[in-house]
Structure 1
Amino acid sequence: MNINEEWQAASPARSALYRWFADVFARELTSATLDEWQQNQAYDNLHEVFVSLGLEQYSNRVKAAIDDLQQFPKEHRAIELAADFAQVFLLSGDDSAPPYASYYLSSDKHLYGKPAAQMMRFLDSQQLSLHPEFREPNDHLSVYFIVMSLWINKSIEQQLEMVNTAQEQIDFLDSALLNWLPQFTALCQKINVKTDIYPALAALAEQFVIEDRAGLESIVVS
Protein backbone atom coordinates (compact mmCIF):
# COMPACT_ATOMS: atom_id res chain seq x y z
CA MET A 1 0.00 0.00 0.00
CA ASN A 2 1.52 3.34 -1.05
CA ILE A 3 1.28 6.51 0.98
CA ASN A 4 -1.68 7.85 -1.01
CA GLU A 5 -3.60 4.61 -0.40
CA GLU A 6 -2.71 4.81 3.30
CA TRP A 7 -4.01 8.39 3.37
CA GLN A 8 -7.30 7.33 1.80
CA ALA A 9 -7.62 4.37 4.15
CA ALA A 10 -6.88 6.41 7.28
CA SER A 11 -9.11 9.35 6.44
CA PRO A 12 -12.49 7.88 7.52
CA ALA A 13 -11.06 6.84 10.90
CA ARG A 14 -9.45 10.26 11.42
CA SER A 15 -12.74 11.95 10.64
CA ALA A 16 -14.68 9.67 13.00
CA LEU A 17 -12.26 10.26 15.87
CA TYR A 18 -12.33 14.03 15.48
CA ARG A 19 -16.14 13.88 15.45
CA TRP A 20 -16.12 11.69 18.55
CA PHE A 21 -14.01 14.22 20.43
CA ALA A 22 -16.29 17.02 19.20
CA ASP A 23 -19.32 15.23 20.64
CA VAL A 24 -17.56 14.45 23.94
CA PHE A 25 -16.75 18.09 24.67
CA ALA A 26 -19.91 19.64 23.22
CA ARG A 27 -22.21 18.56 26.05
CA GLU A 28 -22.21 16.50 29.23
CA LEU A 29 -22.29 12.74 28.80
CA THR A 30 -25.74 11.16 29.06
CA SER A 31 -26.82 7.98 30.82
CA ALA A 32 -27.35 6.36 27.42
CA THR A 33 -23.79 7.17 26.37
CA LEU A 34 -22.41 5.83 29.63
CA ASP A 35 -24.38 2.60 29.23
CA GLU A 36 -23.03 2.21 25.72
CA TRP A 37 -19.47 2.81 26.88
CA GLN A 38 -19.75 0.44 29.83
CA GLN A 39 -22.18 -2.32 28.83
CA ASN A 40 -21.77 -2.54 25.05
CA GLN A 41 -17.99 -2.19 25.20
CA ALA A 42 -18.13 0.79 22.84
CA TYR A 43 -15.13 2.40 24.48
CA ASP A 44 -13.18 -0.87 24.35
CA ASN A 45 -13.41 -0.73 20.56
CA LEU A 46 -12.19 2.87 20.58
CA HIS A 47 -9.42 1.90 22.97
CA GLU A 48 -8.04 -0.54 20.41
CA VAL A 49 -7.87 2.29 17.88
CA PHE A 50 -6.10 4.60 20.32
CA VAL A 51 -3.63 1.83 21.18
CA SER A 52 -2.85 1.44 17.47
CA LEU A 53 -2.06 5.17 17.41
CA GLY A 54 0.40 4.88 20.30
CA LEU A 55 -2.00 6.43 22.81
CA GLU A 56 -2.45 3.43 25.11
CA GLN A 57 -1.31 5.29 28.23
CA TYR A 58 -3.86 8.06 27.74
CA SER A 59 -6.68 5.75 26.72
CA ASN A 60 -5.99 3.49 29.70
CA ARG A 61 -6.60 6.50 31.91
CA VAL A 62 -9.99 7.07 30.27
CA LYS A 63 -10.85 3.37 30.68
CA ALA A 64 -9.94 3.55 34.37
CA ALA A 65 -12.10 6.65 34.81
CA ILE A 66 -15.04 4.87 33.17
CA ASP A 67 -14.55 1.87 35.46
CA ASP A 68 -14.37 4.16 38.49
CA LEU A 69 -17.93 5.30 37.77
CA GLN A 70 -19.01 2.00 39.34
CA GLN A 71 -18.47 3.64 42.74
CA PHE A 72 -21.64 5.66 42.14
CA PRO A 73 -25.14 4.16 41.99
CA LYS A 74 -26.14 3.82 38.33
CA GLU A 75 -28.89 6.41 38.63
CA HIS A 76 -26.40 8.97 39.98
CA ARG A 77 -23.61 8.58 37.42
CA ALA A 78 -24.95 10.97 34.80
CA ILE A 79 -25.67 13.52 37.54
CA GLU A 80 -22.11 13.32 38.85
CA LEU A 81 -20.71 13.71 35.35
CA ALA A 82 -22.99 16.67 34.64
CA ALA A 83 -21.69 18.29 37.82
CA ASP A 84 -18.10 17.62 36.74
CA PHE A 85 -18.84 19.00 33.26
CA ALA A 86 -20.09 22.21 34.84
CA GLN A 87 -17.15 22.33 37.26
CA VAL A 88 -14.57 21.90 34.52
CA PHE A 89 -16.07 23.89 31.66
CA LEU A 90 -18.83 26.23 32.79
CA LEU A 91 -17.70 28.08 35.89
CA SER A 92 -15.71 31.31 35.90
CA GLY A 93 -12.27 31.09 34.34
CA ASP A 94 -10.33 31.06 37.61
CA ASP A 95 -12.19 27.95 38.76
CA SER A 96 -12.54 26.04 35.51
CA ALA A 97 -10.99 25.37 32.11
CA PRO A 98 -13.15 27.25 29.60
CA PRO A 99 -13.16 25.35 26.27
CA TYR A 100 -12.77 28.54 24.21
CA ALA A 101 -9.66 29.65 22.33
CA SER A 102 -10.32 33.31 23.16
CA TYR A 103 -9.81 32.65 26.86
CA TYR A 104 -6.25 31.42 26.27
CA LEU A 105 -5.23 33.65 23.37
CA SER A 106 -6.67 37.00 24.49
CA SER A 107 -4.80 39.08 27.05
CA ASP A 108 -8.04 39.97 28.83
CA LYS A 109 -9.36 36.36 28.68
CA HIS A 110 -12.66 37.61 27.29
CA LEU A 111 -14.76 35.31 25.16
CA TYR A 112 -15.83 36.08 21.59
CA GLY A 113 -12.34 37.42 20.84
CA LYS A 114 -10.28 37.26 17.66
CA PRO A 115 -10.20 33.44 17.53
CA ALA A 116 -14.02 33.32 17.26
CA ALA A 117 -13.95 35.78 14.35
CA GLN A 118 -11.09 33.89 12.71
CA MET A 119 -13.01 30.63 12.94
CA MET A 120 -16.06 32.25 11.34
CA ARG A 121 -13.91 33.40 8.41
CA PHE A 122 -12.32 29.97 8.13
CA LEU A 123 -15.71 28.24 8.06
CA ASP A 124 -16.83 30.59 5.30
CA SER A 125 -13.62 30.06 3.31
CA GLN A 126 -14.01 26.29 3.47
CA GLN A 127 -17.77 26.44 2.85
CA LEU A 128 -18.38 24.61 6.11
CA SER A 129 -21.27 25.20 8.46
CA LEU A 130 -22.06 24.17 12.02
CA HIS A 131 -25.28 22.56 13.18
CA PRO A 132 -27.78 25.35 13.93
CA GLU A 133 -28.54 23.86 17.36
CA PHE A 134 -24.93 24.28 18.45
CA ARG A 135 -25.12 27.65 20.18
CA GLU A 136 -21.60 27.96 21.55
CA PRO A 137 -19.09 30.59 20.31
CA ASN A 138 -17.22 29.65 17.15
CA ASP A 139 -13.98 29.14 19.07
CA HIS A 140 -15.37 26.37 21.27
CA LEU A 141 -13.06 23.33 21.36
CA SER A 142 -15.70 21.13 19.75
CA VAL A 143 -15.82 23.42 16.72
CA TYR A 144 -12.13 22.80 15.97
CA PHE A 145 -12.70 19.07 16.17
CA ILE A 146 -15.80 19.10 14.00
CA VAL A 147 -14.05 21.34 11.46
CA MET A 148 -11.29 18.75 11.13
CA SER A 149 -13.86 15.97 10.74
CA LEU A 150 -15.79 17.85 8.04
CA TRP A 151 -12.58 18.87 6.29
CA ILE A 152 -11.35 15.28 6.17
CA ASN A 153 -14.70 14.14 4.77
CA LYS A 154 -14.49 16.87 2.15
CA SER A 155 -11.00 15.73 1.16
CA ILE A 156 -12.39 12.22 0.63
CA GLU A 157 -15.43 13.29 -1.35
CA GLN A 158 -13.59 15.78 -3.55
CA GLN A 159 -10.36 13.76 -3.74
CA LEU A 160 -8.30 16.77 -2.69
CA GLU A 161 -4.58 16.63 -3.37
CA MET A 162 -2.93 14.81 -0.48
CA VAL A 163 0.24 16.78 0.27
CA ASN A 164 -1.33 20.23 0.00
CA THR A 165 -4.28 19.15 2.13
CA ALA A 166 -1.98 17.65 4.76
CA GLN A 167 0.05 20.88 4.92
CA GLU A 168 -3.10 22.99 5.19
CA GLN A 169 -4.33 20.82 8.05
CA ILE A 170 -0.95 21.10 9.81
CA ASP A 171 -1.13 24.88 9.49
CA PHE A 172 -4.66 24.86 10.89
CA LEU A 173 -3.76 22.67 13.85
CA ASP A 174 -0.69 24.78 14.64
CA SER A 175 -2.29 28.19 14.31
CA ALA A 176 -5.80 27.48 15.58
CA LEU A 177 -5.69 24.60 18.08
CA LEU A 178 -2.27 23.54 19.33
CA ASN A 179 -1.46 27.13 20.30
CA TRP A 180 -3.92 26.84 23.21
CA LEU A 181 -4.98 23.21 23.63
CA PRO A 182 -2.04 22.37 25.96
CA GLN A 183 -3.03 25.22 28.29
CA PHE A 184 -6.62 24.01 28.32
CA THR A 185 -5.52 20.44 29.07
CA ALA A 186 -3.23 21.58 31.87
CA LEU A 187 -6.03 23.53 33.51
CA CYS A 188 -8.35 20.52 33.30
CA GLN A 189 -5.87 18.52 35.39
CA LYS A 190 -5.97 21.06 38.24
CA ILE A 191 -9.72 21.16 38.84
CA ASN A 192 -11.22 19.29 41.77
CA VAL A 193 -13.78 16.88 40.29
CA LYS A 194 -15.42 13.68 41.52
CA THR A 195 -14.49 11.65 38.46
CA ASP A 196 -11.44 11.70 36.21
CA ILE A 197 -13.48 11.43 33.00
CA TYR A 198 -13.06 14.96 31.65
CA PRO A 199 -9.43 15.53 32.69
CA ALA A 200 -8.57 12.15 31.16
CA LEU A 201 -10.47 12.91 27.96
CA ALA A 202 -8.73 16.28 27.66
CA ALA A 203 -5.30 14.64 27.96
CA LEU A 204 -6.27 12.00 25.40
CA ALA A 205 -7.62 14.62 22.98
CA GLU A 206 -4.43 16.68 23.13
CA GLN A 207 -2.21 13.67 22.46
CA PHE A 208 -4.47 12.52 19.63
CA VAL A 209 -4.10 15.90 17.92
CA ILE A 210 -0.33 15.81 18.43
CA GLU A 211 -0.12 12.32 16.91
CA ASP A 212 -2.41 13.27 14.04
CA ARG A 213 -0.23 16.27 13.27
CA ALA A 214 2.84 14.04 13.28
CA GLY A 215 1.12 11.75 10.79
CA LEU A 216 0.35 14.71 8.55
CA GLU A 217 3.96 15.86 8.82
CA SER A 218 5.20 12.47 7.63
CA ILE A 219 3.08 12.88 4.49
CA VAL A 220 4.41 16.34 3.76
CA VAL A 221 8.07 15.39 4.14
CA SER A 222 7.85 12.02 2.39
Structure 2
Amino acid sequence: MTISTDSSIDTTMDATTEWQAANTARSALYRWFADIFARELTTTTLEQWQQNQVYESIHEAFVSLDLEEQSNRVKAAISDLNKLPKQDRALELAADFAQIFLLSGDDSAPPYASYYLSEDKHLYGEPVKQMRQFLKSQQLSLNPEFREPDDHVSVYFMVMSLWINSSNNSGSDMLTLAQEQVEFLDSALLNWLPKFNERCQRIRVQTDLYPALVALAEQFVIADREALSTLVS
Protein backbone atom coordinates (compact mmCIF):
# COMPACT_ATOMS: atom_id res chain seq x y z
CA MET A 1 0.00 0.00 0.00
CA THR A 2 1.34 3.42 -0.97
CA ILE A 3 0.92 6.33 1.43
CA SER A 4 0.43 9.67 -0.31
CA THR A 5 2.76 12.49 0.69
CA ASP A 6 0.79 15.12 -1.22
CA SER A 7 0.62 18.10 1.16
CA SER A 8 -2.26 19.62 -0.81
CA ILE A 9 -4.59 17.06 0.78
CA ASP A 10 -3.68 18.23 4.28
CA THR A 11 -3.94 21.86 3.21
CA THR A 12 -7.44 21.32 1.84
CA MET A 13 -8.51 19.51 5.00
CA ASP A 14 -7.11 22.32 7.17
CA ALA A 15 -8.92 24.97 5.13
CA THR A 16 -12.18 23.05 5.35
CA THR A 17 -11.80 22.58 9.10
CA GLU A 18 -11.07 26.28 9.60
CA TRP A 19 -14.04 27.21 7.40
CA GLN A 20 -16.39 25.02 9.40
CA ALA A 21 -15.09 26.41 12.70
CA ALA A 22 -15.47 29.96 11.44
CA ASN A 23 -18.99 29.17 10.28
CA THR A 24 -19.92 27.88 13.72
CA ALA A 25 -18.87 31.20 15.24
CA ARG A 26 -20.50 33.23 12.46
CA SER A 27 -23.78 31.40 12.86
CA ALA A 28 -23.78 31.95 16.62
CA LEU A 29 -23.20 35.70 16.28
CA TYR A 30 -25.87 36.12 13.62
CA ARG A 31 -28.27 34.20 15.86
CA TRP A 32 -27.31 36.39 18.82
CA PHE A 33 -28.18 39.55 16.91
CA ALA A 34 -31.42 38.00 15.63
CA ASP A 35 -32.55 37.26 19.17
CA ILE A 36 -31.61 40.73 20.45
CA PHE A 37 -33.66 42.61 17.86
CA ALA A 38 -36.60 40.20 17.87
CA ARG A 39 -37.84 41.11 21.34
CA GLU A 40 -37.03 43.13 24.46
CA LEU A 41 -34.19 41.94 26.65
CA THR A 42 -35.54 40.02 29.62
CA THR A 43 -34.54 40.76 33.19
CA THR A 44 -32.81 37.36 33.34
CA THR A 45 -30.72 38.03 30.24
CA LEU A 46 -29.80 41.48 31.47
CA GLU A 47 -28.68 40.14 34.86
CA GLN A 48 -26.58 37.47 33.14
CA TRP A 49 -24.88 40.11 31.03
CA GLN A 50 -24.12 42.22 34.08
CA GLN A 51 -23.40 39.72 36.86
CA ASN A 52 -22.01 36.66 35.14
CA GLN A 53 -20.02 38.60 32.59
CA VAL A 54 -21.67 36.64 29.79
CA TYR A 55 -20.94 39.46 27.38
CA GLU A 56 -17.22 39.15 28.02
CA SER A 57 -16.97 35.99 25.90
CA ILE A 58 -19.02 37.61 23.16
CA HIS A 59 -16.82 40.70 23.39
CA GLU A 60 -13.73 38.58 22.73
CA ALA A 61 -15.31 37.30 19.52
CA PHE A 62 -15.88 40.86 18.33
CA VAL A 63 -12.34 41.86 19.30
CA SER A 64 -11.05 39.06 17.06
CA LEU A 65 -13.01 40.68 14.22
CA ASP A 66 -11.42 44.10 14.87
CA LEU A 67 -14.68 45.41 16.31
CA GLU A 68 -13.32 46.23 19.75
CA GLU A 69 -14.36 49.89 19.57
CA GLN A 70 -17.98 49.08 18.74
CA SER A 71 -18.13 46.28 21.30
CA ASN A 72 -16.63 48.50 23.99
CA ARG A 73 -19.52 50.88 23.44
CA VAL A 74 -21.93 48.02 24.16
CA LYS A 75 -19.95 47.11 27.29
CA ALA A 76 -20.10 50.72 28.47
CA ALA A 77 -23.85 50.83 27.86
CA ILE A 78 -24.30 47.66 29.91
CA SER A 79 -22.20 49.10 32.71
CA ASP A 80 -24.13 52.38 32.65
CA LEU A 81 -27.33 50.49 33.43
CA ASN A 82 -26.01 50.08 36.96
CA LYS A 83 -26.72 53.77 37.47
CA LEU A 84 -30.41 52.95 37.31
CA PRO A 85 -32.31 51.29 40.17
CA LYS A 86 -32.20 47.54 39.59
CA GLN A 87 -35.98 47.23 39.43
CA ASP A 88 -36.14 49.89 36.70
CA ARG A 89 -33.50 48.61 34.28
CA ALA A 90 -35.62 46.15 32.32
CA LEU A 91 -38.46 48.66 32.14
CA GLU A 92 -36.20 51.40 30.81
CA LEU A 93 -34.80 49.05 28.16
CA ALA A 94 -38.30 47.95 27.19
CA ALA A 95 -39.24 51.60 26.77
CA ASP A 96 -36.15 52.20 24.63
CA PHE A 97 -36.94 49.11 22.54
CA ALA A 98 -40.44 50.43 21.92
CA GLN A 99 -39.22 53.95 21.18
CA ILE A 100 -36.70 52.81 18.59
CA PHE A 101 -38.30 49.78 16.96
CA LEU A 102 -42.04 49.75 17.61
CA LEU A 103 -43.32 53.29 17.22
CA SER A 104 -44.13 54.83 13.86
CA GLY A 105 -43.12 58.15 12.43
CA ASP A 106 -39.98 60.26 12.53
CA ASP A 107 -39.22 59.50 16.17
CA SER A 108 -38.43 55.82 15.61
CA ALA A 109 -36.31 53.54 13.41
CA PRO A 110 -38.59 50.82 12.01
CA PRO A 111 -36.57 47.59 11.66
CA TYR A 112 -38.03 46.69 8.25
CA ALA A 113 -36.24 46.75 4.91
CA SER A 114 -39.37 47.98 3.11
CA TYR A 115 -39.32 51.20 5.12
CA TYR A 116 -35.88 52.14 3.82
CA LEU A 117 -36.11 50.76 0.28
CA SER A 118 -39.49 52.11 -0.79
CA GLU A 119 -40.11 55.75 -1.68
CA ASP A 120 -43.34 55.89 0.31
CA LYS A 121 -41.83 54.09 3.35
CA HIS A 122 -44.70 51.60 3.34
CA LEU A 123 -44.27 48.23 4.98
CA TYR A 124 -44.84 44.83 3.36
CA GLY A 125 -43.07 45.94 0.21
CA GLU A 126 -40.93 44.09 -2.32
CA PRO A 127 -38.32 42.97 0.28
CA VAL A 128 -40.99 40.84 1.97
CA LYS A 129 -41.67 38.97 -1.27
CA GLN A 130 -37.97 38.57 -1.95
CA MET A 131 -37.31 37.14 1.49
CA ARG A 132 -40.16 34.67 1.19
CA GLN A 133 -38.79 33.51 -2.15
CA PHE A 134 -35.29 33.20 -0.70
CA LEU A 135 -36.48 31.16 2.27
CA LYS A 136 -38.28 28.82 -0.09
CA SER A 137 -35.29 28.47 -2.41
CA GLN A 138 -32.99 27.60 0.50
CA GLN A 139 -35.58 25.36 2.17
CA LEU A 140 -35.34 27.42 5.34
CA SER A 141 -38.17 28.03 7.77
CA LEU A 142 -38.59 30.55 10.57
CA ASN A 143 -40.22 30.20 13.96
CA PRO A 144 -43.97 30.57 13.31
CA GLU A 145 -44.32 32.35 16.66
CA PHE A 146 -42.37 35.30 15.27
CA ARG A 147 -45.20 37.50 14.02
CA GLU A 148 -43.21 40.24 12.31
CA PRO A 149 -43.04 40.77 8.52
CA ASP A 150 -40.40 38.74 6.70
CA ASP A 151 -38.26 41.84 6.07
CA HIS A 152 -37.70 42.47 9.80
CA VAL A 153 -34.00 42.90 10.58
CA SER A 154 -34.07 39.86 12.88
CA VAL A 155 -35.19 37.69 9.98
CA TYR A 156 -32.10 38.59 7.95
CA PHE A 157 -29.81 37.72 10.85
CA MET A 158 -31.67 34.49 11.53
CA VAL A 159 -31.58 33.53 7.85
CA MET A 160 -27.81 33.95 7.82
CA SER A 161 -27.49 31.81 10.95
CA LEU A 162 -29.69 29.03 9.59
CA TRP A 163 -28.07 29.18 6.15
CA ILE A 164 -24.57 28.94 7.60
CA ASN A 165 -25.54 25.97 9.78
CA SER A 166 -27.27 24.24 6.90
CA SER A 167 -24.27 24.65 4.61
CA ASN A 168 -21.89 23.35 7.28
CA ASN A 169 -23.98 20.22 7.67
CA SER A 170 -24.37 19.67 3.94
CA GLY A 171 -20.70 20.16 3.08
CA SER A 172 -21.37 22.85 0.46
CA ASP A 173 -18.44 24.17 -1.55
CA MET A 174 -17.04 26.99 0.55
CA LEU A 175 -16.09 29.33 -2.31
CA THR A 176 -19.48 29.02 -3.96
CA LEU A 177 -21.24 29.53 -0.65
CA ALA A 178 -19.04 32.51 0.26
CA GLN A 179 -19.88 34.19 -3.05
CA GLU A 180 -23.59 33.52 -2.59
CA GLN A 181 -23.52 35.00 0.90
CA VAL A 182 -21.63 38.09 -0.29
CA GLU A 183 -24.32 38.64 -2.90
CA PHE A 184 -27.07 38.13 -0.32
CA LEU A 185 -25.54 40.56 2.17
CA ASP A 186 -25.08 43.16 -0.57
CA SER A 187 -28.52 42.87 -2.11
CA ALA A 188 -30.68 42.07 0.92
CA LEU A 189 -29.11 43.64 4.02
CA LEU A 190 -26.33 46.12 3.41
CA ASN A 191 -28.51 48.09 0.99
CA TRP A 192 -30.56 49.34 3.96
CA LEU A 193 -28.84 48.39 7.24
CA PRO A 194 -26.63 51.54 7.25
CA LYS A 195 -29.75 53.72 6.88
CA PHE A 196 -31.38 51.83 9.73
CA ASN A 197 -28.32 52.31 11.93
CA GLU A 198 -28.06 56.00 11.08
CA ARG A 199 -31.68 56.48 12.08
CA CYS A 200 -31.21 54.53 15.32
CA GLN A 201 -28.38 56.83 16.36
CA ARG A 202 -30.68 59.85 16.13
CA ILE A 203 -33.47 58.49 18.34
CA ARG A 204 -33.59 59.99 21.82
CA VAL A 205 -33.67 57.15 24.34
CA GLN A 206 -32.81 56.76 28.01
CA THR A 207 -29.92 54.31 27.53
CA ASP A 208 -27.32 53.75 24.82
CA LEU A 209 -27.65 49.97 24.70
CA TYR A 210 -29.83 49.51 21.62
CA PRO A 211 -28.14 52.22 19.54
CA ALA A 212 -24.78 50.64 20.46
CA LEU A 213 -26.01 47.16 19.52
CA VAL A 214 -27.32 48.35 16.14
CA ALA A 215 -24.02 50.08 15.39
CA LEU A 216 -22.15 46.90 16.32
CA ALA A 217 -24.47 44.80 14.17
CA GLU A 218 -23.85 46.97 11.12
CA GLN A 219 -20.08 46.77 11.50
CA PHE A 220 -20.24 43.02 12.12
CA VAL A 221 -22.10 42.47 8.85
CA ILE A 222 -19.63 44.69 6.99
CA ALA A 223 -16.68 42.80 8.51
CA ASP A 224 -18.26 39.44 7.69
CA ARG A 225 -18.92 40.53 4.12
CA GLU A 226 -15.31 41.68 3.72
CA ALA A 227 -13.99 38.37 5.09
CA LEU A 228 -16.17 36.40 2.67
CA SER A 229 -15.09 38.59 -0.22
CA THR A 230 -11.43 38.07 0.66
CA LEU A 231 -11.96 34.32 0.72
CA VAL A 232 -13.59 34.39 -2.72
CA SER A 233 -10.86 36.55 -4.25
> Which interval holds the TM-score relative to the shorter structure?
over 0.9
Which residue of structure 2 aligns with residue 50 of structure 1?
Answer: 62
Q: 2:42 matched to 1:30?
A: yes
Distance in 2 (CA, whole Å) between partners of 1:220 and 1:71 is 46
Q: Which has the larger radius of gyration?
A: 2
Task: Please give the per-residue CA displacement for 1:171-217, whole angstroms capped at 9, x wherever unaligned.
Answer: 00000000000000000000000000000000000000000001101
Kept in 2, the 8 Å contact 1:18–1:146? The answer is yes
Q: Distance in 1 between matches of 2:105 and 2:218?
A: 20
* Residue 183 (structure 1) aligned with residue 192 (structure 2): no
Identify the match of residue 168 of structure 2 among 156, 169, 178.
156
Report whether the alignment pairs 1:84 with 2:108: no
Distance 2:48 2:34 in 1: 18
Length-normalised TM-score, structure 1: 0.98
Give SS of 1:111's match: coil
Report the TM-score, using the length of structure 2 for normalisation.
Answer: 0.93
Q: Deviations over 1:137-175 (max 9, x none)?
A: 000000000000000001110000000000000000000
Q: How far did 1:4 drift?
A: 2.9
Structure 1 unaligned spans of 5+: none
Output one character per residue of 1:75-101: Cα deviation in whole Å (capped at 9) or x when no partner: 110000000000001111311000000
1:39-80 Cα deviation digits (max 9, x unpaired): 111001100110011000000000000000011111110000
- For 2:17 and 2:178, the matched residues in 1 are separated by 14
Structure-2 separation of matches of 1:9 and 1:90: 36
Q: Is 1:97 aligned with 2:109? A: yes
1:141 and 2:160 are equivalent in the alignment: no
Match of 1:19 among 16, 31, 42: 31
Q: Distance in 2 between matches of 1:46 and 1:84?
A: 23
Which amino acid is the alignment partner of residue 81 of structure 1? L
State percent identity of aligned pairs. Answer: 70
